[in-house]
C-alpha cells in the first residue's frame, strides 16, 4: 500500500520533471490557503493551546470581507436615519435584505423568524462577499476552504439546535426529532438515524459550499493551464473564452451558493423550531 | 491505497496540506470573525435597518388604509350630496308646482272678481243713464208745455181781433138760436 502511494508520487514527480511545466501543483497553490499574506509577505506563526492560529491568507480575506460589510452596512444603516426612502447603494442592499427576509426566512421558519434574521442575514452577506472577493484577480476565496465552510456549517448547526431547544425545550426538542407514529421496536434505529441526520446536514452544507467555490476556480486554472501544457498560442482564444464563460458562471455560482447556504440553514432552523411539520 | 487525490495534494508540495485538509486554526478564526461580524452588524446594521424597513412598511400600509378610508368617505359624501340634490330638486319642483297652481287660482279669482265688478259698474252706469234720460225727458216735456202754452197764448192774443171774433161769436150765437 505504502509502496503504491510512493510509486504514484514518484510517477507524478517524474512526469512533472520530464515535461517541464506540466506540473499541476500551481493550481492548488492558487486555491489552497497559505501563510503568505496576498502571496507577498509571511505572516507570523501563532501557536496557542496546541492549535496553529497563524493568520493565513484566507483569514485576511475574511477580514477584508467583514470590513467591507461593516463599512457598507453602516452606510446603509445611516442612510435610513436620514430618510426612509432608499436611494443609491441602499436600494441594492435593501433588495438583498428584503429577499433574505421575505424569500428565505419567512417561508421556511414562519412565525418567529425575526429572531434568526440577523444570523441569516450575516451568513448570506458574509458568504456572498467572500465569494465575490474570490473573483477579484489576485485574491483568495475564503469560502473555497473546507475549514472555513466547516466553521460556518458548525455555526449553522449550533444556531439550529439552539433555536430548536429554545422553542421546544430540551427534552421536547430531542423527542420531536423522531417522527410520530414510529413503532416502538424501530425507535432505537430511528434515534440513531435522526441523530446522524442532524450531523449530515451541516456536513452537506460545508462540502457543498466548499466544492462549488473550489470547482469553478480549478476549472478556470485548468483552462488557462491548457495554453502552457499544449505550448501553443492557438489554444489561447478557446481557453480564454471558456475561462471567461466559467468566470461569468462563477458570478452566478457565488450568488447561488450564498443563497443556498442561507436557504438550507433557514430550512433546518425552521424544521428544528416547528417540528410538527 | 493510492488515493489519487491525496497524491495530487501531496505532490503540490504546499505546507498547508491538501484540498480536504482541515485546519483547526482556520476554523477558530472563521468562528471568531463570523461571531464578531454578527455582533457588530446586529448592533450597527440589522437592528436599525430592519426596524426602518418595518417602520416604512407599516407607514405604507397605514397610508394605503387611510387613502382607502378617505376614498370611501368621499364616496359616501358624494352619494349623500347626490341624494340631497335629488331631494332638493324634488322640493323645488314641488314648490314651483304649488306656486303655479296658487297663481292660477289667484288669477282666476281675480278675473271673476273683476268681471263681476265690471258688470256691476256697467249696471250702475246704465241705471244712471236711464235716470238722467228720464230727467232730461221730463225737463223737455215741461219746457215744451210751457213753450206751447206761451206760443199759443201769443198766437191766441195776436189773432183775436174784434171784427173777426165778433163774427165768430155772432155765428156761434146764430147757430145756437137756430137750434
User: Is residue B146 pLDDT above 70, yes or no?
Assistant: yes
For residue B13, being part of any structural domain is answered with no
Domain for residue A114, yes or no? Answer: yes
Is there a domain that residue A153 lies in?
A: yes
- Judge whether B60 is closer than 8 Å to chain A, CB to CB: no
* pLDDT over 60 at A10, yes or no: no
Q: Is the per-residue pLDDT at B8 higher than 50?
A: no
Instruction: Give a yes or no: residue B73 inside a domain.
Output: yes
Structural domain boundaries enclosing B73: 30-173
ipTM of predicted assembly, 2 dp? 0.79
Do the domain assignments include residue B6? no
* Residue A119, domain member (yes or no): yes
Would the CB atoms of A35 and B23 count as touching at under 8 Å? no
Closest by Cβ to B46, choosing from A35, A81, A117: A117
Q: What is the structure's pLDDT at B2?
A: 40
The answer to whether residue A184 sits within a structural domain is yes
Domain presence at residue A7 = no
Taking 80 as the threshold, does the pLDDT of residue B127 lie above it? yes
The answer to whether position B148 is within a domain reads yes
Residue A169 lies in a domain: yes
Per-residue model confidence (pLDDT) at position B109: 94
Q: How many CB atoms lie within 10 A of CB B177?
A: 7
As a whole number of angstroms, the distance between CA B7 and CA A12 comes to 8
Kindly write down the DSSP assignment for every residue of chain A, as one continuous string: -HHHHHHHHHHHHHHHHHTSTT--HHHHHHHS--SEETTTEEPPP-EETTEE----HHHHHHHHHHHHHHHHHHHHHHHHHH-SS--THHHHHHHHHHHIIIIIIHHHH-TTGGGTHHHHHHHHHHHHHHHHHHTSTT---GGGSHHHHHHHHHHHHHHHHHHHHHHH-HHHHHHHTSPTT--GGGHHHHHHHHHHHHHHHHHHHHHHHHHHHHHHHHHHHHHHHHHHHHT-STHHHHHHHHHHHHHHHHHHHHHHHHHHHHHHHHHHHHHHHSTT-
Checking if the pLDDT of A34 tops 50, the result is yes
Each residue's pLDDT tens digit, B61-97: 999 999 999 999 999 999 999 999 999 999 999 999 9
Q: Does the residue B154 lie in any domain?
A: yes
Q: What is the rounded average pLDDT for all residues in chain A?
A: 80
Q: Domain count for chain A, please give it.
A: 1
- Provide the number of CB pairs (under 8 Å) joining chain A to chain B: 168
Q: A25, B11: Cβ pair inside 8 Å?
A: yes
pLDDT digits (tens, 9 = 90+) for A132-169: 888 887 778 888 888 888 888 999 999 888 888 888 87
| pLDDT of A6 above 80 | no
- Residue A51, in any domain of the structure: yes
Name the phi and psi angles at A47, rounded to 5.
-125, 120
CA A209, CA A259: separation in Å to the nearest integer? 10
At residue B18, φ and ψ (nearest 5 deg) are -90, -175
Instruction: Provide the shortest C-alpha distance from residue A270 to chain B (in Å).
Output: 20
Whether B139 is covered by a domain: the verdict is yes
The helix-helix angle for A187-230 and A146-168 (nearest 10°) equals 160
Is B146 contained in some domain? yes
Q: What is the pLDDT of residue A107?
A: 85
Instruction: Write the pLDDT tens digit of every residue in A225-274.
Output: 888 777 777 878 888 888 888 889 889 988 999 899 999 998 888 888 88
Is the residue at B162 inside a domain? yes
Å from B37 to nearest chain A CA?
6
Given a cut of 90, whether residue B99 has pLDDT beyond it is yes
Domain span including residue A134: 20-273
Which residues touch B22 (CB under 8 Å, ≥6 apart)?
A146, A147, A150
Total domains, chain B:
1
Judge contact between A124 and A259, C-beta under 8 A. yes
Nearest chain A residue (CA) to B19: A32
Does A114 touch chain B if contact means CB atoms closer than 8 Å? yes
Whose grid coordinates read 460556518?
A: A152
Calculate helix-pair angle for B47-159, A57-82, nearest 10 degrees.
20
Contacts of A214 in chain B (CB under 8 A): 19
Mean model confidence pLDDT for chain B: 83
Whether residue A13 lies inside any domain: the answer is no
Confidence band of A8 (pLDDT split at 50, 70, 90): low
- pLDDT one-digit tens code per residue, A38-49: 767 777 777 777
Q: Which residues contact A75 (CB under 8 A, 6 or more apart)?
A: A89, A90
CA distance B75 to chain A (A): 31
| pLDDT tens track for A68-118 | 888 888 888 888 777 777 777 888 888 888 888 888 888 888 787 888 888
- Residue scoring higher pLDDT (A36 or B38): B38
Residues 60-89 of A with CB under 8 A from B: 62-63, 66, 69-70, 73-74, 76-77, 80-81, 84
Amino acid at each position: 500500500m505504502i509502496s503504491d502511494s510512493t510509486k504514484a508520487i514518484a510517477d507524478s514527480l517524474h512526469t512533472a520533471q520530464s515535461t517541464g511545466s506540466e506540473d499541476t501543483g500551481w493550481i492548488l497553490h492558487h486555491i489552497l490557503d497559505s501563510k503568505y499574506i496576498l502571496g507577498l509577505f509571511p505572516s507570523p506563526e501563532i501557536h496557542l493551546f496546541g492549535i496553529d492560529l497563524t493568520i493565513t491568507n484566507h483569514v485576511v480575506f475574511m477580514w477584508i470581507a467583514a470590513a467591507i460589510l461593516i463599512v457598507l452596512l453602516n452606510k446603509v444603516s445611516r442612510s435610513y436615519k436620514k430618510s426612509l426612502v432608499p436611494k443609491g447603494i441602499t436600494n441594492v442592499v435593501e433588495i438583498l435584505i428584503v429577499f433574505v427576509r421575505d424569500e428565505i426566512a419567512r417561508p421556511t421558519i414562519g412565525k418567529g423568524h425575526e429572531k434568526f434574521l440577523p444570523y441569516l442575514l450575516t451568513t448570506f452577506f458574509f458568504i456572498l462577499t467572500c465569494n465575490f472577493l474570490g473573483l477579484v484577480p489576485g485574491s483568495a476565496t475564503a469560502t473555497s476552504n473546507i475549514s472555513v465552510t466547516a466553521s460556518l456549517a458548525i455555526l449553522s448547526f449550533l444556531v439550529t439546535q439552539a433555536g430548536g431547544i429554545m422553542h421546544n425545550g430540551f427534552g421536547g426538542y430531542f423527542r420531536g426529532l423522531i417522527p410520530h407514529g414510529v413503532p416502538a421496536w424501530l425507535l432505537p434505529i430511528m434515534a440513531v438515524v435522526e441523530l446522524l441526520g442532524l450531523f449530515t446536514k451541516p456536513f452537506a452544507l460545508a462540502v457543498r459550499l466548499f466544492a462549488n467555490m473550489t470547482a469553478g476556480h480549478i476549472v478556470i486554472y485548468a483552462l488557462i493551464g491548457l495554453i502552457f501544457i499544449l505550448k501553443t498560442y492557438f489554444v489561447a482564444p478557446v481557453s480564454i473564452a471558456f475561462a471567461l464563460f466559467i468566470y461569468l458562471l462563477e458570478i452566478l455560482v457565488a450568488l447561488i451558493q450564498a443563497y443556498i447556504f442561507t436557504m438550507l440553514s433557514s430550512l433546518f432552523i425552521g424544521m428544528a423550531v416547528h417540528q410538527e411539520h | 491505497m493510492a488515493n489519487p487525490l491525496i497524491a495530487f495534494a501531496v505532490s503540490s508540495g504546499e505546507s498547508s496540506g491538501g484540498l480536504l485538509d482541515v485546519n483547526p486554526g482556520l476554523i477558530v478564526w472563521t468562528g471568531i470573525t463570523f461571531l464578531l461580524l454578527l455582533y457588530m452588524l446586529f448592533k450597527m446594521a440589522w437592528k436599525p435597518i430592519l426596524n426602518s424597513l418595518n417602520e416604512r412598511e407599516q407607514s405604507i400600509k397605514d397610508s394605503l388604509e387611510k387613502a382607502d378610508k378617505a376614498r370611501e368617505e368621499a364616496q359616501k359624501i358624494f352619494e349623500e350630496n347626490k341624494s340631497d340634490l335629488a331631494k332638493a330638486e324634488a322640493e323645488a319642483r314641488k314648490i314651483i308646482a304649488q306656486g303655479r297652481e296658487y297663481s292660477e287660482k289667484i288669477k282666476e279669482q281675480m278675473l271673476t272678481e273683476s268681471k263681476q265688478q265690471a258688470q256691476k259698474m256697467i249696471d250702475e252706469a246704465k241705471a244712471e243713464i236711464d235716470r238722467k234720460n228720464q230727467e232730461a225727458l221730463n225737463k223737455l216735456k215741461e219746457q215744451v208745455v210751457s213753450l206751447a202754452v206761451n206760443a199759443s197764448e201769443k198766437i191766441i192774443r195776436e189773432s183775436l181781433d174784434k171784427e173777426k171774433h165778433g163774427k165768430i161769436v155772432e155765428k156761434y150765437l146764430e147757430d145756437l138760436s137756430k137750434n
